Every structure is written in C-alpha cells, then in structure tokens.
C-alpha cells in the first residue's frame, strides 16, 4: 500500500501527505478525501504551498479526480502586522499555476484574492489556458496586470481558443484590458456575471487607480459595442453595481433584448444609479421579449411597483421568475404591493415572485400579506408556486394556509383538480412529484381526499395490488377494450410514497396511503 494512502473504517480510501490535513492552521493547505476529491483549495500565503500542490500532482489516482480549484490568500488576514498591499513574487505565482495546470481533469478555476493581495499577473492565466480547456472561470477582488500590451493580446488569443468555457464571473476585478480580453473573445460564453467591475477605463475608483499604462483611451468602448458584448450569445447576464452602466446603457440594453433574435434567458440587473426611465425601459422590454424566463430588477425607482403590476397583468407566457425591489414610502409601497397582488388574478404563467421591500420586519403592514393570501386562496388559475417578501436580510413569514396553497401549485395538485377528466396515472405522477419535492403531509392528503373516484378506480383496475395478469382481449370491434390499467412499475412509486410518509402519518393519512400500497411492494 502507498505511504500516502490508507483504508478508513467505512471502506473509503483516504490519501495522506505531510501537506494535506483537515486542520485550520495556515500550514495545513489542502484537504482531499476519496469521497469528495473533486475540489482543491490552494492558499498562496502558505509557506509550503508549492510542496503541497506538487504532492497532489504526484498522487496520480487522486489528482485525476480533481475537477475544480480555488486559489486565494486568505490566511494573510490571520497574520498580525499585515497592512497595505502585498505583492507575491512572479515566480511563486507562476509555479503554483503551472502545477495546477498539470491536473489532468481540471475544468473549473476560481481565483479569489483579497484587499491585501490584489494583483494577478496575466501570465498566470496564460499558463492555465495554454494547457487546459476550462468550463468555468471566476475572478474576485483582484487586478490583472501585465508587463506589456503583448501579454493582453496573448490573453485574448488564448481566450479565443477556449471552446468549452461557458461561464465567467468577474467580481471587483480591475484591469480593463484583461477584462475586455476575456469578455470579448471567449467564443462559447453563455453565462456572464459582473459585479463592481468595469469594462471601460473612463470610470475608476480613486482607491484603485490603474497602475498599468496599457489601460488607456484605446480600451474605450462605444455604447453599441458595450451592449453587443452583453447580449451576443449569452443565456445568463448579471450586472451588479457596474459604475459605467448608466441610463443610456440601460436603454440600449433594453432595445437589444427586445429584438426577435434575443437568446438571453436570465437577467439580473442591480444598480442604485438607474432612475425611473430605466425601470420603464426594462419593463416595456419584458412585454415583447420572447426568451427571458428569470428576471431580477433591483432599481431605485419609485415607479417600479406600478410598472411591475402592468407587466404581471400582461401575462407574458415566457416570464416565470420575477424579482423586484420596491423603493418608496411605506404607504405607497403598501399600495403597490396590493396592486401587485390583484394583478396576479390575471396571470397564469408566473411561478416565482420575490419582492424586496425597504421595510423592517416588525413594520410590515398586515394588508400586504392579506392581499396576497386572498388572491392565492380564491383564484384557482394563479400559477404562483413561491412567494418571498423580505427586506434583503429577513423573510417575512407567510400564513400556513397560504404556504399550503403554494405547495399545491408546486406539485401540480391545483392544476390537476381543475381538469374535468382526470386519470389514475396523473394521480400517481402528481403524488410522486409531491413526495419528491418534500411537500407537507397536508398537501399530499389534500390530493388524496379530493380524488376519491380515482382511488376507487385505481383499486378496481387491480394493478395496484401487484396483479399484472391481463385478460385476453378479443379483437372484435364490437367488444369494448378493457379499462386502461395502471402500470405495474408504478408500485415502486407507491412504495416510495409509503416509506416517506409512514413514520409520521396520523391515522387518517395512514389509512388512505395503506389502501394504495400493493401487498407485494
């Protein structure tokens, strides 16, 4: 047996080395077990990190299982007397990334620096991209620096060869040339998430001025090019507090998303710099857009409540998830929420609604909860499955009866009850969904108690008791065919339902479910 491996009591194989440990000390850099070996965390501030990563690469059975890696320098916070920015030696950083590039199956890379170590050499990314085809790349709290403009051009060329990289996350990233090289040239990019990151050098925080002369006026982008980068080929777009993204950019983005060929399916837009005109442009766009399914609009607009109510009344068939933030005085926000609740009566497609209110939990007016509760309880056509009212931190509690109605929508019970002709397979499928999604017992019993005819029909068909013997069928057209029997394989679903509910069911529930369990199950 290898000196780096041993058998645990449960039979799983664990790999050990002097540099791999489960402790929290800064000298213990990596923890890898055979049961969860797919992710590795590398601390650049650890004195022996080179040896640790090298030992990982040499453990062939283990390194082949690694799929993702996170590189950070968080232990600098644990070292006293560390103030200001710290620059690692170029050779130290490149050596770590060269060893990571030797991991054969690495596809996801996250580089998360802090405000003590903020610079990342472009050569580090070049080292990875030259040897690996990544699928996801995340950069947080850093600035990409290069020794010359040729390095950024090489980064753009390497990015153009990343045919599998579909997800890019940039959070608090500086270095306009590096950001543009990634965003502009990744050919298969479909998921772009940007937070406090700039694409143009015109807007720079004074605390993070560009230190490289490469990021000059030649990196400026026109508004049309800027919006084209954010819409071409993307399925997910997140813009969170982007400094240069003003009302004019928002209007241009809305115009681009309103075009028939739009492919964007998820949009997250959060900014305190956008005003009422941007809110109106985005809601008007959603009236004609045919691709967006999930939308988040956190804009400080006093008209957001009225605009969203008109959008919900329009009942667009594509939009399923909607997340908004209301910004106004408490009486006006109360009126807006009541109007939103009434608008749901005319909507049959929206399934998830989140409303963020600038109201403290104890000050939330009761009228808001009551309005949504009445609409959900008394409007069978409402498709809402999830409702969240919160202040950004805490969620306002919903009544138990309202939660039950939302769960009935979630597992399809209310939709099934509205159908004039219901079948036993539909009953089985709905029950399986209800148990799979771990809904309350009240939701399951509501389905069973409202369909006694289906339960009786299922028992009459005889296939629930494990009898799979079919009677011979006469081909004479005058003889009606036998009734459609429940599939024999469905007895497994019934057994699963019983196993998930038997221990905590009260007597009426247990009696009903026991009737439906095949004796052979």
In a domain, 4, yes or no: no
Per the CB < 8 A criterion, the answer to whether 502 and 437 are in contact is: no
β-bridge mates for residue 20, sequence order: 17, 30
Dig out the tokens for 218 from the structure.
Answer: 């030649």
What's the average model confidence in pLDDT over 440-462? 64
Distance (Å, whole) CA 325 – CA 328: 10
Residue with tokens 């090489």: 154
Q: Compare 402 and 521 and report the one with higher pLDDT.
A: 402
pLDDT of res. 409:
87
CA 497 – CA 513 distance, rounded (Å): 8
Checking if the pLDDT of 265 tops 80, the result is yes
**Residue 140 belongs to some domain of the structure:** no
Residue 343: other Cβ atoms inside 10 A: 19
Residues 6+ apart with CB under 8 A from 436: none
Tens digit of each residue's pLDDT (9 = 90 or more) over 385-421: 999 999 988 999 999 889 988 988 888 877 777 777 7
Residue 217 CA neighbour count, 13 Å, CB half: 0
Q: How far apart are CA 231 and CA 122, in angstroms?
A: 26
Residue 500 has pLDDT above 60, yes or no: no
Number of domains forming the structure of the chain: 1
Contacts of 217 (CB under 8 A, 6+ apart): 201
287, part of any domain: no
Please tell me the number of Cα atoms within 13 Å of 430 on its side-chain side. 26
Q: Dihedrals φ, ψ of 388, to 5°?
A: -130, 125
Report residue 106: phi and psi, to 5°: -70, 125
pLDDT confidence band for 159 (50 / 70 / 90): very high
Q: What pTM, to 2 d.p., does this model score?
A: 0.78
Q: Give yes or no for residue 476 having a pLDDT over 80.
A: no
Phi, psi for residue 13 in degrees, rounded to 5: -95, 130
Tell me whether residue 302 is in a domain.
Answer: no
**Is 203 domain-assigned?**
no
Residue 426: give the domain boundaries.
Answer: 418-467+485-516
501 part of a folded domain: yes
Q: What pLDDT digit, counting tens, does each position of 181-234 carry?
A: 999 999 999 999 999 998 877 544 444 444 444 444 445 677 888 888 888 889
For residue 115, the model assigns a pLDDT of 62
∠ CA 370-375-379, rounded to 5°: 155
Given a contact cutoff of 8 angstroms between Cβ atoms, the answer to whether 100 and 128 are in contact is yes
**Confidence category of residue 422, pLDDT binned at 50, 70, 90:** confident
Establish if 153 belongs to a structural domain: no
Residue 516: pLDDT over 80: no
Encode pLDDT of 171-183 as tens digits. Answer: 999 888 899 999 9
Q: How far apart are CA 72 and CA 63, in angstroms?
A: 19
In a domain, 112, yes or no: no
């Amino acid at each position: 047996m290898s000196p780096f491996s041993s058998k645990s009591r449960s039979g799983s194989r664990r790999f050990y080395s002097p540099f791999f440990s489960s402790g929290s000390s800064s000298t213990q850099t990596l923890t890898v077990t055979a049961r969860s070996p797919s992710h590795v965390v590398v601390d650049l501030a650890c004195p022996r990190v080179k040896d640790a990563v090298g030992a990982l690469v040499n453990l062939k059975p283990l390194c082949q299982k690694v799929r993702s890696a996170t590189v950070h320098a968080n232990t600098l916070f644990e070292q006293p007397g560390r103030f200001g920015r710290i620059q690692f030696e170029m050779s130290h950083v490149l050596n770590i990334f060269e060893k990571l590039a030797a991991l054969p199956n690495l596809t996801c890379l996250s580089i998360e620096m802090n405000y003590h170590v903020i610079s990342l050499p472009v050569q580090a990314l070049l080292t990875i991209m030259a040897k690996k085809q990544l699928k996801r790349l995340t950069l947080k709290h850093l600035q990409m620096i290069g020794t010359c403009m040729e390095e950024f051009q090489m980064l753009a060329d390497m990015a153009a060869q990343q045919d599998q990289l579909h997800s890019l996350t940039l959070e608090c990233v500086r270095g306009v040339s590096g950001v543009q090289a990634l965003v502009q040239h990744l050919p298969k990019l479909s998921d772009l998430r940007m937070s406090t990151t700039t694409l143009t050098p015109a807007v720079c925080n004074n605390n993070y001025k560009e230190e490289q002369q490469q990021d000059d006026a030649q990196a400026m982008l026109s508004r049309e090019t800027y919006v084209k980068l954010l819409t071409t080929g993307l399925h997910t777009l997140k813009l969170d507090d982007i400094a240069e993204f003003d009302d004019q950019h928002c209007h241009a983005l809305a115009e681009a998303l309103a075009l028939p060929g739009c492919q964007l399916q998820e949009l997250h837009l959060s900014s305190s710099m956008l005003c009422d005109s941007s809110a109106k442009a985005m809601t008007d766009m959603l009236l004609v857009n045919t691709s967006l399914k999930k939308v988040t609009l956190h804009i400080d607009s006093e008209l957001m409540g009225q605009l969203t109510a008109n959008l919900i009344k329009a009942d667009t068939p594509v939009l399923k998830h909607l997340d908004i933030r209301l910004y106004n005085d408490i009486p006006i926000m109360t009126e807006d929420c009541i109007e939103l609740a009434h608008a749901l009566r005319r909507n049959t497609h929206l399934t998830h609604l989140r409303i963020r209110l600038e109201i403290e939990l104890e000050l939330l007016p009761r009228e808001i909860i009551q309005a949504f509760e009445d609409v959900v309880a008394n409007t069978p056509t409402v498709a809402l499955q999830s409702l969240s009212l919160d202040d950004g931190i805490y969620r306002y509690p919903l009544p138990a009866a309202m939660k039950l109605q939302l769960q009935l929508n979630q597992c399809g019970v209310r939709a099934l009850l509205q159908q004039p002709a219901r079948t036993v397979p539909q009953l089985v499928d709905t029950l399986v969904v209800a148990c799979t999604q771990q809904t309350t017992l009240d939701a399951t019993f509501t389905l069973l108690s409202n369909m006694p005819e289906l339960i009786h029909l299922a028992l009459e068909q005889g296939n629930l008791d494990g009898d799979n013997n079919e009677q011979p069928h006469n081909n004479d057209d005058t003889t009606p065919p036998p009734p459609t029997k429940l599939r024999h394989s469905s007895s497994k679903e019934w057994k699963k339902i019983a196993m998930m509910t038997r221990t905590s069911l009260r007597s009426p529930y247990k009696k009903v479910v026991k009737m439906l369990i095949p004796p052979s199950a």
